[in-house]
């Protein structure tokens, strides 16, 4: 099984954590934008190849990994909803990151202003969640941790006024698969 991705992507990190905790043998193939543009129709990472199985989205990749390992994945509509909400915030944050990198003035465009507002209201909602303070973590929680850590690493979010999220991140920092996949600083 080959997982293609970067060491910084939060979507890839979640898949790497799932693979590590499943005990499955896999090869991680570091993939840049030029290579993902050539090998995946979405032109994004992660993507996964396992014999005849080719998957192009982290949600499907996680489904595959969890299924193969006989582990739970998004066990209730409520958990799926949190997972989706984190993905929405993450997509908005990644979009703003890339747009700003490409020179777009994101503060003066109505659409990007809406994305920024979405990120703020999502963080406020995440702060209200009841979150585990130690393993086992659900996939919604793992996705949230990947998002928060990436957002802080890229200086795209501020959780100074979110004690619940800070506590959650401090707890998961000692979870071995999370610690082992930290983006290179």
Ligand X SMILES: N[C@@H](CCC(=O)N[C@@H](CS)C(=O)NCC(=O)O)C(=O)O
- Binding residues for ligand X (CB under 6 A): 9, 11, 33, 36, 43-46, 57-59, 94
- Residue 167 beta carbon to ligand X: minimum distance, rounded to whole angstroms: 26
- Residue 75 beta carbon to ligand X: minimum distance, rounded to whole angstroms: 19
Is residue 2 classed as helix, strand or coil in its secondary structure?
A: strand
**Cβ within 8 Å of residue 140, ≥6 positions away:** 74, 79, 80, 82, 83, 86
Q: By C-beta, is 133 or 149 nearer to ligand X?
A: 149
Burial string for 21-36 (b: 16+ CB within 10 Å, else e) reads: bbeeebebbebeeeeb
DSSP conformation class of 184:
P
Bridge partners, residue 149, by sequence: none
Q: By C-beta, is 16 or 44 nearer to ligand X?
A: 44
Q: By C-beta, is 22 or 88 nearer to ligand X?
A: 88
Is residue 175 classed as helix, strand or coil in its secondary structure?
A: coil
- Residue 133 beta carbon to ligand X: minimum distance, rounded to whole angstroms: 26
Q: By C-beta, is 11 or 137 nearer to ligand X?
A: 11
- Residue 61 beta carbon to ligand X: minimum distance, rounded to whole angstroms: 7
């Amino acid at each position: 099984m080959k997982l293609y991705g970067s060491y910084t992507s939060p979507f890839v990190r979640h898949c790497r954590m799932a693979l590590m905790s499943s005990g499955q043998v896999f090869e991680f193939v570091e993939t840049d934008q030029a290579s993902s543009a050539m090998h995946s129709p979405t032109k994004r990472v992660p993507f996964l190849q396992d014999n005849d199985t080719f998957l192009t989205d982290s949600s499907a990749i996680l489904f595959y990994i969890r299924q193969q390992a006989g582990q739970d994945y998004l066990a209730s509509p409520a958990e799926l909803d949190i997972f989706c909400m984190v993905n929405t915030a993450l997509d908005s944050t990644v979009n703003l990151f890339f747009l700003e990198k490409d020179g777009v003035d994101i503060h003066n465009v109505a659409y990007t202003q809406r994305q920024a507002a979405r990120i703020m209201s999502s963080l406020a909602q995440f702060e209200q969640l009841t979150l585990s303070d130690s393993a086992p973590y659900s996939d919604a929680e793992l996705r949230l941790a990947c998002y928060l850590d990436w957002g802080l690493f890229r200086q795209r979010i501020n959780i100074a006024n979110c004690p619940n999220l800070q506590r959650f991140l401090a707890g998961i920092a000692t979870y071995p698969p999370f610690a082992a996949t930290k983006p290179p600083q």
